[in-house]
Amino acid sequence: MAAEATRHYFDHAAHSPLRPAARQAWLQAADLVGNPAALHASARRSRAALEDARESIAADLGAHPTEVVLTSGGSEADTLAVWGGVRGRASSGRDLVVISAVEHPAVGELARQWPGTLIAGVDPTGSVMMDELARLVGPSTAVVSVQTVNNEVGVVQPVAEAAEIAHAAGAWFHTDAVQALVSPGLDFSASAADLVSVSAHKLGGPVGVGALLVRREVAPAVTGLGGRQERDLRSGTQSAALAAAFAAALHESVASREAERVRMARLRAELLAGLAAAGQGEGVRVNGGEVVNPAIVHLTAPGVRADDVLLLLDRVGIDASVGSACRAGVHQPSEVVLAMTGSTQDALSSLRFSMGWSTTDDDVAALVRELPRALARARGV
């Protein structure tokens, strides 16, 4: 059987390959038996592994272990924070939620489920308009939610300012920091956030585990039924193996954060310079403004359909995306780009290339070589 051709992976913002350290940690903890909530010796060993992982995660995120609520991932953490937050405060007269127009679907869908959801617009770079956010937040606001880094265009939001606006009105502030753990990074104790969502599989951990960081004085409503594990907020048998793998991936990511930030900036610069040198830079817009996570490169290429470009790249071994992978594989115009520009054509002509721990110089060289060809073919040149 012929060996499979080399593929070049540029979809880390959707799912990053499993780090060897995370795989090893998972395999070691997977041999443990016993429900961590039980009392026998086997269960106590599982509980010890679970709590060791929690302490490691807390240390790497600047949190206290009691502030780490393990979840199935970022989407569940977002739901616990925002849905649980507004339900927990509604009885006291705080029944409004304020979010940005470019939130992850786990937060954005709340606008369709909770009538008291107000949406702050964004400027053409995707950055939340703070004057509009301040106008919407008031005495009836329960929770304000603004992503730290937008998962599609990579813009870094002014979350400290957003938190200040929320707290001035007595609201809790939540941020989805799933894309922020490498750049700009997260220190929960030093941040102004009350609730922060993170996920393992965006940084080389396994799918199926994440965390909601919750200040000890903050108590969202319970959103599910069951044994009420995880500070009574999240029911379900905990997985020591998933927690251990998450902790290992996070620790490795945090330890190499500064070097990776520099490396991502270099690879981004090489990609954009190569695109310009190939004559495809003209007319191709780089989105996100000046303050971005360098690992996310979001481009709008007028005159092409993003789907056509992705298929052409896929044929030559390059994996990329059009944006969020949380739409069950159904490509619709990007709601993020629509919020930024109001243009359906732009929303259908935009692509995302996201890098991570396993991205190499060879990967970027392949993309620099093949992307101009794909754009030219998609334009019929």
pLDDT tens by residue, 222-254: 887 777 788 888 888 899 999 999 999 999 999
Q: How far, CA to CA in Å, does 249 sit from each of 177, 205, 230?
A: 16, 5, 21
pLDDT value for 330: 56
Number of neighbouring beta carbons within 10 Å of residue 232:
11
With bands split at pLDDT 50, 70 and 90, how would you rate the model's confidence at 1?
very low
Distance CA 35, CA 113 (A): 35
User: Residue 366: CA atoms inside 13 Å, Cβ hemisphere, count?
Assistant: 20
Strands 96-100 and 117-120: parallel
* Model confidence pLDDT, tens digit, residues 163-217: 999 999 999 999 999 999 989 999 999 999 999 999 999 999 999 999 999 999 9
Between 204 and 2, whose confidence is greater?
A: 204
Q: What is the mean pLDDT of the chain?
A: 93
pLDDT at 35 over 60: yes
Domains of the chain from N-terminus onward: 9-16+257-379 (3.90.1150.10), 20-255 (3.40.640.10)
pLDDT value for 328: 43
pLDDT value for 226: 75
pLDDT at 321 over 90: yes
The number of angstroms, rounded, from the C-alpha of 326 to the middle of its chain's C-alpha atoms is: 11
Is 235 an annotated catalytic residue?
no
Distance CA 36, CA 242 (A): 13
Say which of 111, 129, 265, 326 is annotated catalytic: 326
